[in-house]
Amino acid sequence: MKLVIIGGSGAGKSTQAQGLCTYFNIPLISSDEILRDAICAQRSSEAIAILYPEGFSPENSLPEISAGQDTANLLGHQRRFAIPSFPYLGHLPQSYMETGELVTNEMIIESIQIQLKKPDFKDGWVLEGYPRTADQAEKLDFLLNNLGHNLDWAIYLQVPQAVMVNRSMGRFLPDDLPEIVQRRVETFYDRTVPILEYYDRHRRLLTINGDQSPEAVQQNIITLLITSQ
């Protein structure tokens, strides 16, 4: 099963994507996680450069650091999230996330491509947080065709604007400030809604009422996916 989850901020994309990954036993690709991880990697690199001005190697002993500074976590982020083929990824996303703007196609597409080339993603995956515009959907289809992947369904979580704002504000994430949330919602309606027409034309759109309990939404998605096969 190869799926895309579409919805505005607070629509429940992450919750449903994780649930579908568990149900179908397939991996998750999250554009938001890619960006947050890239920011962590960049910050870790900068912190390590301060701690080790002459360069870091595993043989080095850890320097004495002030309370509250977790060097192990910094090194872990650097090892886990470094993407050599996309060195500028960590320098850019934070400004986009802070303003609620969409990230560039190139940043996300290349990261998705890296994931889809891994053996674990051969038989299925759930992509959450991307695409967000019809243009991005077209570019994603082009990438999937080149890699021999065929998208089964784009699942749209339909949620009223007021619900999206309230849910986002209740998550207490650093980038869920009122002005950022409002901008995300406005961006969704201004730029993302045409994506529904794109997937509808290609007969790959499933619309789900997302204004229900997470369990009910999940069951509705699974039922539709099974009956649509």
Alpha carbons 51 and 33: distance in angstroms, whole number: 26
Q: What's the sign of the alpha-carbon dihedral 213, 174, 7, 10?
A: positive
pLDDT beyond 70 at 44: no
Structure tokens at 137: 């959907």
Closest CA to 77 of 38, 116, 103: 38
The model's pLDDT over 139-168, given as tens digits with 9 standing for 90+, comes to 999 999 999 999 999 999 999 888 887 887
Alpha carbons 81 and 89: distance in angstroms, whole number: 10
Instruction: Answer whether 162's CB lies under 8 Å from 168's CB.
Output: no
E strand or H helix at 110, and its extent? helix 105-116
**What's the pLDDT at 127?**
96
Ranges in the chain annotated CATH 3.40.50.300: 2-31+103-227
Beta-bridged to residue 4, according to DSSP, are 127, 154
H helices, E strands: number in the chain: 10, 5
The model's pLDDT over 180-224, given as tens digits with 9 standing for 90+, comes to 877 877 778 777 779 999 999 999 999 999 999 999 999 999 999
Q: What is the separation, in whole angstroms, between the first and last Cα of the chain?
A: 10
E strand or H helix at 8, and its extent? none
Mapped onto helix, strand or coil, the DSSP state of residue 147 is: helix
**What's the pLDDT at 95?**
52
Instruction: Answer whether 35's CB lies under 8 Å from 98's CB.
Output: no
Mapped onto helix, strand or coil, the DSSP state of residue 213 is: coil
Q: What is the 3-state secondary structure (H, E, C) of 183-207?
A: HHHHHHHHHHCHHHHHHHHCCCEEE
Instruction: Answer whether 31's CB lies under 8 Å from 192's CB.
Output: no
Alpha helices by DSSP H, listed for 25-99, are 31-51, 71-81, 93-99
**What's the pLDDT at 63?**
44
Domain over 2-31+103-227 is classified CATH 3.40.50.300: yes
**What's the pLDDT at 84?**
37
* pLDDT (average), residues 62-84: 41
Instruction: Answer whether 151's CB lies under 8 Å from 182's CB.
Output: no
* Distance of alpha carbon 80 from the chain centroid: 17
